[in-house]
A and B are shown apart, each in its own frame.
Chain A
Amino acid sequence: DADVTQTPRNRITKTGKRIMLECSQTKGHDRMYWYRQDPGLGLRLIYYSFDVKDINKGEISDGYSVSRQAQAKFSLSLESAIPNQTALYFCATSDLHGTGDPGELFFGEGSRLTVL
């Protein structure tokens, strides 16, 4: 089945360390997103990309960076992790329909990051 895969699924790190979360998809979708989930805050958009070489900031991009290495790969980096970046991170993809409607988001399984 076509899917969205995230690695690592769980990571514990220390303050100040650089962390990369990777996302790959076999859905053939052009659009990819990184969301952060915190209890009581829902899903907040960090960055999104509509194509290779296209990068856009979301609601909470400070402290994060991304790279769209290929249509199927979108990675999220924390250059210097801090404890309040402890959260569950989701990658998602969507397809652009002929009507211009971006359509449904398909999420990966999530990457739980703990920063000590």
Chain B
Amino acid sequence: GENVEQHPSTLSVQEGDSAVIKCTYSDSASNYFPWYKQELGKRPQLIIDIRSNVGEKKDQRIAVTLNKTAKHFSLHITETQPEDSAVYFCAARGLYGNKLVFGAGTILRVKS
């Protein structure tokens, strides 16, 4: 089955700097890659997703890139702000699967 690895497990950046979180997946048939943000004490919420027919997607300060050949995808946050501090989860879903497999999560701390 699908396996998703996520790095780093924790990331501290200064406010205004960029943050990058990377994930690799094992199933070459996976075709959907969402990112979820979980603020402290809250539920995970989708922030951006990308499908396998697209190499990059942007939404304001966040972007996701996908390299199908290398089987990895990344979340990029520019101009980080304190409210970006949270746990971020990547996930992957196979072509015929109905299940999302999540990475272990990255704790992002933005220092002001």
Same complex for A and B? Answer yes
Chain A positions near chain B (C-beta within 8 angstroms): 31, 40-45, 48, 50, 56, 58-59, 90, 101-102, 104-105, 107-110
**CA–CA, A44 and B3, complex, Å:** 11
Q: For B99, give its contact among A58, A90, A110 (CB under 8 Å).
A: A58
Q: Is the CB of A104 within 8 A of B43?
A: no
Q: For A105, give its contact among B42, B46, B104 (CB under 8 Å).
A: B46
Known: A101-B32, A107-B44. A40 touches B9 (CB 8 A): yes
Does B33 make an interface contact (CB < 8 A)?
Answer: no
Q: Is the CB of A42 within 8 A of B43?
A: no
Chain B nearest Cβ from A61, distance in angstroms? 12
Which of B37-67 touch A at CB < 8 Å?
42-46, 49
Question: Contacts of B89 on A, CB cut-off 8 Å?
Answer: 42-43
Known: A42-B89, A101-B32, A102-B98. A90 touches B44 (CB 8 A): yes
Q: For B44, give its contact among A40, A43, A44 (CB under 8 Å).
A: A43
Known: A90-B44, A104-B46, A107-B45. A41 touches B99 (CB 8 A): no
Does B73 make an interface contact (CB < 8 A)?
Answer: no
**CA–CA, A21 and B107, complex, Å:** 27
Q: For A45, give its contact among B36, B44, B100, B104 (CB under 8 Å).
A: B100
Q: Is the CB of B100 within 8 A of A42?
A: no
Q: Apart from A42-B6, A43-B44, A90-B43, list 15 A-B contacts with CB within 8 A.
A: A42-B89, A42-B103, A42-B104, A43-B91, A43-B102, A45-B100, A48-B98, A48-B99, A50-B98, A58-B99, A59-B101, A102-B93, A104-B49, A105-B46, A107-B44
Question: Contacts of B1 on A, CB cut-off 8 Å?
Answer: 59
Q: Is the CB of A45 within 8 A of B99?
A: yes
**CA–CA, A114 and B111, complex, Å:** 32
Chain B nearest Cβ from A33, distance in angstroms? 8
